[in-house]
Amino acid sequence: MEKSDVAALFQSFERQNPRPQTELIYTTPFSFLVSVILSAQATDKSVNKVMETLRPKVETPEAVLAVGLPALTESLKSINYFQNKAKNIVTLSKILVEHFQSCIPLNFSELVKLPGVGRKTANVLLVELAQEERIAVDTHVLRVSQRLGLSGAQTPETLERDLYDVVPRVFWSRTNHWLVLHGRYVCTARNPQCSSCFVKGFCKSFQEGLS
């Protein structure tokens, strides 16, 4: 896609939803981190449901350590990969208490060293909690970007690089939200709603009759 078309595409997203927000409900930065870790391979809806009762027990790393691994694992049973996620949340709580005065280090290279925190989670946290201009890439962002023709990248890391190259910087911190929401409600994996899609005029797949 030409850079001028990419700019026009994101202007359309901006007109449609100027201030897109995360659908994860949270009360503290740490409870947001817990929700983002839980949301890998799980829907935000399922995470919000579990967090409704769990949130008071995971608002700080100390609170997680007080709950302990067995009880946390039990509370997360409805979430995919709950055992690993519970282990990571407890281990990273210990690290934050012991090395970061119980605060989340808002620094990419420190974040990705924490258990359960990869590039995507680190970028999501830095956009949400530190207002940094970054693009987090998950499966929705990958699928929608490929369909639109923003990039032919096959991996999140190469797509992230391509997006920084083509998307105007002013849109970076909202790009993840727009593409995730579009992928969740319009450009779904199995049944994209192309006829009612407001960006179909820019979409490579639509123009090529592939979707």
Q: Which residues in this chain contact ligand SF4 in the complex, by CB under 6 A?
A: 147-148, 186-187, 192-194, 197, 199-200, 203, 205-206, 211
| Short-list 67, 69, 47, CA closest to 59 | 67
What minimum distance in Å lies between the beta carbon of 9 and ligand SF4?
9
Question: Given the complex with ligand SF4, which of 32 and 206 has the nearer CB atom?
Answer: 206
What is the distance of C-alpha 188 from the center of its chain?
16
What minimum distance in Å lies between the beta carbon of 147 and ligand SF4?
4
Instruction: Give me the active site residues, please.
Output: 120, 138
What minimum distance in Å lies between the beta carbon of 149 and ligand SF4?
9
Instruction: Output the CA–CA distances (angstroms, integers) from residue 159 to 80, 152, 187, in the order listed.
Output: 25, 8, 18
Question: Given the complex with ligand SF4, which of 111 and 199 has the nearer CB atom?
Answer: 199
Question: Given the complex with ligand SF4, which of 61 and 192 has the nearer CB atom?
Answer: 192
Q: Cα(88)–Cα(122) distance, rounded to whole angstroms? A: 15
Q: Which residues contact 146 (CB under 8 A, 6 or more apart)?
A: 152, 153
Instruction: Output the CA–CA distances (angstroms, integers) from residue 33 to 105, 121, 138, 209, in the order listed.
Output: 11, 8, 16, 40
